[in-house]
């Protein structure tokens, strides 16, 4: 597809730290089938987990569904986010059935306007955290398998009927975890040279690349100037394409003005999917205006679609995304999105509540609540417990911090606006707690996968290499666990303090005012860190392993 844009010089591209230029990894990621291979591998593993969960032994430490999701997968997720980025969305097994749904389903409905936010995802995450404890999902391979099957079904149905990546963007609780915590990952999918995008006329990164129809192959290439300029809505971050560019899946993610019409002969493109060679961004993130990892699944569609090789997986400062507040494609300004702030706070406080659910004092508190309220259902008591700790207390604490920050600095912003700005400073601390918690389980029970696989092979009548070694478990000495966990937590605190101060300097007119505005959030982060230290020093339930500490 031709364009007047000039690709960046090779010398300039080499100066950009880019995973696509890394040995071995780079060539694999550039391969257009790399994601399909990763997804296919994960899908095969998911099938084995489902079969073992539904039909295998229902003792969790002896079942793939009782170990891999709750011990290994969660640990590797935080490691991937910590060192590379959103690799697990890239390899998500739920997306292969969804591709089938896109190909054979109608996929023409627009996602309902009232649900075009993160509020549904916030509610689903809260339900998931509650269900995980209420039904002891880690103890039930059968229930774990059904949770996974529900995921497959939802992805298939939602994306089979609705345009774009509605499931990933608005529904998937796991994806939201990656979107928020991926904001401090060291990599980001973004353009290498913005100047190349300024002169691009085809916008393939968002609308996909089409080939000329056979009957029109001699026609002149399409120019966006023929049907009006691209429009970027600063308030919402939405890209509005010229009507002639509104073809096929592009309408799924870009609110085109008016009704989409077929391309005319001058455009030289086939309609719909017939001429689609490479899809564009699944989540409507227009690369020249994309900022950070929010809503980015690392699908690499934009990388493969760009005809100028101008999109890469670039290294960056982990705090860059949290401390800047530009208009982001597909999102708008984070400081203006209360739903995004609520999602970030839920995941931050959820890190501590999720760990709290594994220590002994939580049972005494729940018993006290049942006695005081007269509620006999353990599930309802737990639901009330989660509403208080994950909604009520975070709302009170952040509102108090926002009010104190506003009062001390003499700012004119409302408490709601102040919370929307500073909530992002707590994300590194929350991620530090998630990392400490999930790596604790991985490091103390990572080798349990060996005897589980041995027994799985034995049940299939295949060679196992000997009797299952059920004593296998810890990947590091026990004495390393607490220091490592505290290190992750304290690094998270340090990054949160730095992020909070940078946000204050961005928002306030002087260093003095910035220090005053930052102080309440520093106190809140420190208090959360102290709570995390207490949690990490408590004996925790062992999940997915026979060992106990």
Length of the chain measured in residues: 549
Residue 199 has pLDDT above 50, yes or no: yes
Q: Is 465 left (phi over 0), alpha (psi -120 to 50) or beta?
A: left
| Residue with more model confidence, 232 or 182 | 182
Query: Are 330 and 189 a contacting pair, CB within 8 Å?
Result: no
Q: What is the mean pLDDT of residues 459-481?
A: 82
Domain boundaries, the chain: 19-185+329-536, 188-315
Closest CA to 430 of 350, 357, 362: 350
| The predicted structure's pLDDT at residue 142 | 96
Kindly report the number of other CB atoms within 10 A of residue 497's CB atom: 19
| The predicted structure's pLDDT at residue 412 | 86
Query: Are 222 and 3 a contacting pair, CB within 8 Å?
Result: no
Calculate the average pLDDT of the chain.
84
| Residue with more model confidence, 297 or 233 | 297
Q: Which residues neighbour 26 within 8 Å (Cβ) at sequence distance 6 or greater? A: 18, 19, 20
| The predicted structure's pLDDT at residue 542 | 62
Strand partners, 313: 189
Residue 359 has pLDDT above 50, yes or no: yes
Q: Which residues neighbour 259 within 8 Å (Cβ) at sequence distance 6 or greater? A: none
- Tokens (6 digits) for 367: 């018993």
Find the angle CA(256)-CA(258)-CA(259) to the nearest 5 degrees. Answer: 90
Residue 398, burial from CB neighbour count under 10 angstroms (0-12, 13-18, 19+) = buried
Closest CA to 492 of 187, 183, 189, 188: 183
Look-up: residue for tokens 């844009």? 5
| Residue with more model confidence, 491 or 357 | 491
| The predicted structure's pLDDT at residue 250 | 34
Residue 184's pLDDT band (boundaries 50, 70, 90)? Answer: very high
Long-range contacts of the stretch 239-242 (C-beta < 8 A, 24+): 239/206, 239/284, 239/286, 239/289, 239/329, 239/330, 241/203, 241/206, 241/207
Strand partners, 312: 190
| Residue with more model confidence, 233 or 351 | 351
Residues 411 and 386: their CA atoms lie apart, in Å, by 33
Q: What is the mean pLDDT of residues 108-116?
A: 90
Q: Which residues neighbour 344 within 8 Å (Cβ) at sequence distance 6 or greater? A: 180, 423, 424, 426, 427, 430
| The predicted structure's pLDDT at residue 100 | 83
- Percent of the chain scoring above 70 in pLDDT: 84
Residue 209's pLDDT band (boundaries 50, 70, 90)? Answer: confident
Residue 239's pLDDT band (boundaries 50, 70, 90)? Answer: low
- Tokens (6 digits) for 360: 């002994």
Taking 3-state DSSP, the helix, strand and coil percentages for the chain, each rounded to the nearest 5, stand at: 60, 5, 35
Between the CA of residue 177 and those of 124, 225, 298, what are the distances in Å? 12, 40, 14
- Tokens (6 digits) for 215: 């009957």
pTM for the structure as a whole: 0.86
| The predicted structure's pLDDT at residue 261 | 32
| Residue with more model confidence, 456 or 398 | 398
Between the CA of residue 153 and those of 105, 112, 124, 399, what are the distances in Å? 14, 19, 16, 38
Residues 294 and 176: their CA atoms lie apart, in Å, by 9
Q: What is the mean pLDDT of residues 292-300?
A: 92
Q: Which residues of 103-142 are buried (b: 16+ CB within 10 A; e: fewer)?
A: eeeebeeebeeeebbbebbbebbbeebbbebbeebbbbbe
Residue 465's pLDDT band (boundaries 50, 70, 90)? Answer: confident
Alpha-helical regions (H) of 199-262: 204-207, 250-253
Closest CA to 434 of 498, 397, 485: 485
What are 471-517's pLDDT values in tens digits? 777 888 888 999 999 999 999 999 999 999 999 999 998 999 999 99
Residue 338's pLDDT band (boundaries 50, 70, 90)? Answer: very high
Closest CA to 242 of 218, 220, 219, 266: 266
Strand partners, 328: 332
Residue 226 has pLDDT above 80, yes or no: no
Residues 73 and 81: their CA atoms lie apart, in Å, by 12
For residue 297, the Cα-to-chain-centroid distance in whole angstroms is: 7
Beta strands at 231-232 and 239-240: parallel, antiparallel or unpaired = antiparallel
Q: Is 20 left (phi over 0), alpha (psi -120 to 50) or beta?
A: alpha
Closest CA to 431 of 361, 358, 350, 369: 350
Between the CA of residue 462 and those of 192, 193, 456, 459, 465, what are the distances in Å? 50, 54, 9, 8, 9
Residues 164 and 280: their CA atoms lie apart, in Å, by 10
Q: What is the mean pLDDT of residues 345-351?
A: 97
Residues 542 and 549: their CA atoms lie apart, in Å, by 7
| The predicted structure's pLDDT at residue 200 | 85
| Residue with more model confidence, 243 or 362 | 362
Residue 269 has pLDDT above 90, yes or no: no
Residue 84: its H or E element: none
Residues 434 and 414: their CA atoms lie apart, in Å, by 31
Residue 240's pLDDT band (boundaries 50, 70, 90)? Answer: low
| Residue with more model confidence, 82 or 269 | 82
What are 154-174's pLDDT values in tens digits? 999 998 899 888 999 999 999
Residue 197 has pLDDT above 50, yes or no: yes
What are 400-440's pLDDT values in tens digits? 999 999 999 988 889 999 999 999 999 999 999 999 999 99
| The predicted structure's pLDDT at residue 245 | 41
Residue 272 has pLDDT above 60, yes or no: no
Strand partners, 232: 239
**Highest mean pLDDT: which range of 54-63, 213-222, 254-263:** 54-63
């Amino acid at each position: 597809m031709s364009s007047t844009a000039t690709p960046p010089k090779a010398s300039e591209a080499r100066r950009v730290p880019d995973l696509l230029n890394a040995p071995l990894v780079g060539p694999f990621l550039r391969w257009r089938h790399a994601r399909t291979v990763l997804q296919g591998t994960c899908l095969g593993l998911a099938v084995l987990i489902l079969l073992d969960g539904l039909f295998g032994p229902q003792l969790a430490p002896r079942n793939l569904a009782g170990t891999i999701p709750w011990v290994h997968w969660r640990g590797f997720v935080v490691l991937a986010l910590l060192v590379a980025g959103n690799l697990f969305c890239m390899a998500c097994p739920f997306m292969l059935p969804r591709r089938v749904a896109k190909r054979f389903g109608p996929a023409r409905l627009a996602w309902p306007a009232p649900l075009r936010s993160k509020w549904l995802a916030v509610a689903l995450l809260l339900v998931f955290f509650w269900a995980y404890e209420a039904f002891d999902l880690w103890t039930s391979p059968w229930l774990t398998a059904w949770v996974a099957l529900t995921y497959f079904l939802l992805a298939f149905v939602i994306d089979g009927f609705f345009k774009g990546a509605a499931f990933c963007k608005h529904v998937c609780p796991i994806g939201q975890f990656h979107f928020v915590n991926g904001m401090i990952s060291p990599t980001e999918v973004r353009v290498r040279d913005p100047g190349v995008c300024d002169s691009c006329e085809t916008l393939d990164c968002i609308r996909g690349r089409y080939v000329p129809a056979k009957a029109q192959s001699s026609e002149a290439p399409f120019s966006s100037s023929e049907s009006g300029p691209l429009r970027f809505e600063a308030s919402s971050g939405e890209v509005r394409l010229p009507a002639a560019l509104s073809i096929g899946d592009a309408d799924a993610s870009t609110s085109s003005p008016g009704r989409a019409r077929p391309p005319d002969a001058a455009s030289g493109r086939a309609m719909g999917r017939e001429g689609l060679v490479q899809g564009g961004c699944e989540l409507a993130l227009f690369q020249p205006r994309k900022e950070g990892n929010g809503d980015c699944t690392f699908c690499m569609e934009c990388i493969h679609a760009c005809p100028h090789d101008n999109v890469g997986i670039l290294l960056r400062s982990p705090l860059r995304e949290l401390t800047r507040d530009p208009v982001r494609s597909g999102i708008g300004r984070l400081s203006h999105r209360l739903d995004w702030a609520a999602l970030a706070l839920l995941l931050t406080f959820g890190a501590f509540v999720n760990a709290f659910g594994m220590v002994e004092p939580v049972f005494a508190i729940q018993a006290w609540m049942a006695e005081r309220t007269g509620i006999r259902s353990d599930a309802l008591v737990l639901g009330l417990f989660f509403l208080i700790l994950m909604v009520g207390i975070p709302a009170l604490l952040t509102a108090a911090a926002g009010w104190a920050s506003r009062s001390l600095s003499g700012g004119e912003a409302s408490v709601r606006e102040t919370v929307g700005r500073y909530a992002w400073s707590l994300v590194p601390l929350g991620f530090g707690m998630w990392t400490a918690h999930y790596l604790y389980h991985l490091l103390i029970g990572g080798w349990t996968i060996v005897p589980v696989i041995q027994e799985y092979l034995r049940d299939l009548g295949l060679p196992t290499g000997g009797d299952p070694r059920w004593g296998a478990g810890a990947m590091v000495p026990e004495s390393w666990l607490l220091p490592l966990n505290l290190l992750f937590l304290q690094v998270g605190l340090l990054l949160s303090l730095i992020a909070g101060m940078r946000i204050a300097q961005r928002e306030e007119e002087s260093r003095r005012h910035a220090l005053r505005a930052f102080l309440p959030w520093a106190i809140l982060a420190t208090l959360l860190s102290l709570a995390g230290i207490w949690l990490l020093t408590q004996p925790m339930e062992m999940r997915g392993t026979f060992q106990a500490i």
